[in-house]
Structure 1
Amino acid sequence: MNEIQKTELGREGLVVPVIGLGCMGMTTIAGADIYGKADETEAIATIHRSLELGGNFLDTADLYGPLLNERLVAKAIKGNRNRYLIATKFGFEIDDNEQLTWRINGEPGYVKKALERSLNNLGTDYIDLYYLHRVDPNTPIEETVGAMADLVKEGKVRYIGLSEVGSETIRRAHGVHPITAVQTEYSFFERSVEETGILDTIQELGIGFVAYSPVGRGFLSGAIQSPDDFPADDFRRTIPRFQGDQFHKNIELVDEIKKMATDKGITPAQLAIAWVISKGFVPIPGTKHVAFVEQNIAATRVQLTPDELAKLEAIVPLGTSTGDRYDATGMAMVNL
């Protein structure tokens, strides 16, 4: 197995590669394709190729499918569980008929129910990193994290994390049980965790930061030139960042990033990933294709000089408006 540089995620002892693999796009969500059609055989081959290259940190969630994604991961890791680090998430309520209710449920009883279901789906008896996917506004975070802490004591979860949370919630949660990682969307196009002080909070507390969508949901790959490039049911059609005048303003920024990548002899996606790694964060770019996981892992070897970093940040300075990253319903669930 090839070696990827490793890093400690937080201060609790979890050591991971400097890049992970986001698995969301490998299955549908509620019957809709995410980022185009997925092929199970190719998806499993992607997970296996990632492992061959040293990329053993997989990120999934019970929401994805629902449940189908965890089951796909189970097929991919079967017989090799101990070589992988598995992160999964709960919080979007799934009923006993395996249907999403679209309610956020952080009640202690549901935490334990969701965990048992994920263990079964993944074919394992422990989760390396268990995240609360979104905060339940009707359940105190102390109660949710207390139930997650119980799972750690039982040996069913090694470390716990939170996704899309605000600073106050992070502090309250961390006071109940050490939080190992916070996961939030982060890229050239999405830096609200810096603007709102969330990054300052987690760095103060010694919590690791995991960046999902580091390639801007494909925007920063440079391959998207028109909203019509998306299939009719593609999730991105619902996102303001990919709509109307904002789309075309963002394409102008992407074109500048593409020029920098070309000058450096790498792809725009690799430049975007290398930038996140240069910040000391762990990106988890999602892909379901072997060729792309190879390119993403190669980005871990890209070195950016201080001048290059300054030039990049001048293209998309902190505070640049690139449009909301979710529709109004989705935005109401973040940074609680």
Structure 2
Amino acid sequence: MTSSSTIPKRAFGKLGPELPRLGFGLMNASGTYNLPGTDAERLALLDHAYSKGQVFWDTADKYGDSEEILGKWFAANPEKRKDIFLATKFGIQALPDGRFTMNSTPEYCRECIGKSLKRLGLPYVDLYYIHRLDKVTPVERTVQSLVALKNEGKIKYLGISECSAESLRRAHAVHPITALQIEYSLFCRDIESPKIRLLQTARELGVAVVCYSPLGNGFLTGRFRTIEDVSGPGDSRKVLPWFSKENLNNNLVVLDKIAEMAKTKGATSAQLSLAWLLAQGDDIFPIPGTSKPHRLDENLASASVSVSPKENETLRKIASEVTGERFQTKTGYAFTDTPKWE
């Protein structure tokens, strides 16, 4: 493995290991924004990530055949398993009619980890997230099931995604939570809100913040200018409010301002957007995803782009002009609470 010295490392929460600040999100590698590549292409992508030292990998049981592809890679590279910090998730349950529901019950948790480990061909994963809370199961019960899995050696660290500050605090009271996964980008800064208090709570508890969609579902790359650009086979981005007719023209102006600022720094819009996130604190870990090796290289190069305090404020001001709510708000499962534990 090539040295990952070019990717800065930081402690992953109070109890976690040192990890590269930039992780590798594997959702799109199994076809969310486009049709998935061949097995050979995707295995080569994992080889490339490994060779670049990008060894913090993030997947979920919901991400198509991502766990199966990872299983093939680990089977072909058993000696490299020790180098990979692997996260997966449970909690979004597919229904027979193709729709999804949320299920964070202890029973479903145990069922899912068994299936994930079988697909991965592994005895354990490093980090196991509650992907979504179901609003029915008290979070304490779900965390208890994760603790049992940890005691059995099936997981090492506990994580939670898209929860409220109160849910995070309640979960942490049962067992320390290592990582909070949440949408966080220039266009989506809700976790900073003093009303939501999620970033504040994570920092108080010493929980690492893992940023999904750090490039705004690709919108912050500046490569997608029309709704037709995201209307290809398998692309789910056409439902994003940022791309809607009433918001798109305004948001393109915002994107162009970011691109102009990036150009003055010899960077791409994607690199500046990721560099901005890295500048928000050493506890922030973006996990940009891609299906293309050259885009992975572009993302990694953001670690060498500096963002000064003045530039930070300028970017915040520019991004504040974006219109359109985050997609998760439309699902009804953003910053989720659960019933009290009796």
Q: TM-score range by the shorter chain?
A: over 0.9
C-alpha separation between the residues in 2 aligned to 1:285 and 1:294? Answer: 11
1:181–1:328 CA distance, 2 compared to 1 (3 A): closer
Distance of 2:98 and 2:154 partners within structure 1:
24
Partner of 2:57: 58
Tell me if structure 1 keeps the 8 A contact 2:251–2:322.
no
Shift of 1:321: 5.1
1:125/1:156 contact within 8 Å kept: yes
Q: Deviations over 1:93-121 (max 9, x none)?
A: 257x8x86612111111111111111111
User: What residue in structure 2 maps to residue 222 of structure 1?
Assistant: 222
1:60 Cα offset (Å): 0.4
Give the structure 1 partner of residue 255 of structure 2: 254
Give the secondary-structure state (helix, strand or coil) at the position aligned to 1:159: strand
Gaps of 5+ in 1: 29-33
* Secondary structure in 1 matching 2:217: helix
The answer on 1:153 being equivalent to 2:151 is: yes
1:25 maps to 28
Residues 191-270 of structure 1 aligned to structure 2 (within 5 Å): 191-195=189-193, 196-232=196-232, 233-270=234-271
In the other structure, the counterpart of 1:31 is: none
Alpha-carbon distance, 1:152 to partner: 1.0
Partner of 1:16: 19
1:1-336 alignment runs, 5 A limit: 1-3=2-4, 4-28=7-31, 34-40=32-38, 41-65=40-64, 68-78=65-75, 79=78, 80-94=80-94, 102-195=100-193, 196-232=196-232, 233-280=234-281, 281-317=284-320, 320=321, 322-326=323-327, 329-330=330-331, 332-336=332-336
Identity rate, percent? 37
SS at match of 1:217: coil
Q: Aligned partners of 1:194 and 1:227: how far apart in 2?
A: 29
Which residue identity does 2:140 align to in structure 1?
E
Does the CA contact (< 8 Å) of 2:250 and 2:322 recur in 1? no
1:231 shift after superposition: 2.6
The letter of the residue matching 2:210 is V
Q: C-alpha separation between the residues in 2 aligned to 1:209 and 1:328?
A: 19
Residue 270 of structure 2 aligns to which amino acid in structure 1?
Answer: A
Instruction: Specify the SS of the correspondent of 2:219.
Output: helix
Give me the TM-score of the superposition, normalised by structure 1.
0.92
1:16: Cα distance to partner? 1.2
- Provide, for residues 109-165 of structure 1, a one-character-per-residue CA deviation record: whole Å limited to 9, x for no partner: 111111111111111111111000000111110100110011111111000101101
SS of equivalent to 1:103: strand
Would the aligned equivalents of 1:104 and 1:135 in 2 still touch at CA under 8 Å?
yes
Q: Distance between the aligned counterparts of 1:285 and 1:148, measured in 2? A: 26
1:36-77 Cα offsets, whole Å, 9 max, x none, are 222133222222111111100111000111xx1111122223
Query: Using a 3 Å threshold, how does the CA distance of structure 1 residues 329 and 316 change in structure 2: closer, same or farther?
Result: closer
How far apart, in 2, do the equivalents of 1:142 and 1:2 lie? 40
Report if aligned partners of 2:185, 2:273 keep a CA contact under 8 Å in 1: yes
Report the AA paired with residue 180 of structure 2.
V
**Paired residue type of 2:327:** Y
Question: Alpha-carbon deviation of 1:35?
Answer: 1.4
Moved over 6 A (4+): none
Moved more, 39-48 or 295-304: 39-48
3-state secondary structure, aligned to 1:216: coil
Unaligned runs of 5+ in 2: 337-342
- TM-score scaled by structure 2? 0.91
What is the letter of the counterpart of residue 72 of structure 2?
A: K
- Alpha carbons 1:10, 1:181 under 8 Å: kept: yes
CA contact (8 A) 1:25 1:35 kept: yes
Deviations along 1:178-200, one digit per CA (max 9) or x if unpaired, are 00010011111101111121100
Is the CA contact (8 Å cut-off) linking 1:238 and 1:327 kept in structure 2?
no
**1: CA distance, partners of 2:128 / 2:235:** 28
CA contact (8 A) 1:42 1:290 kept: no
CA contact under 8 A between 1:92 and 1:100: conserved in structure 2? no
Q: What amino acid does structure 1 have at the position aligned with 2:33?
A: Y
Letter in 2 for 1:166: S
Q: Deviations over 1:282-324 (max 9, x none)?
A: 000010100001111111121222232222122124xx55312
Contact 2:254/2:322, CA 8 A, preserved across alignment: no
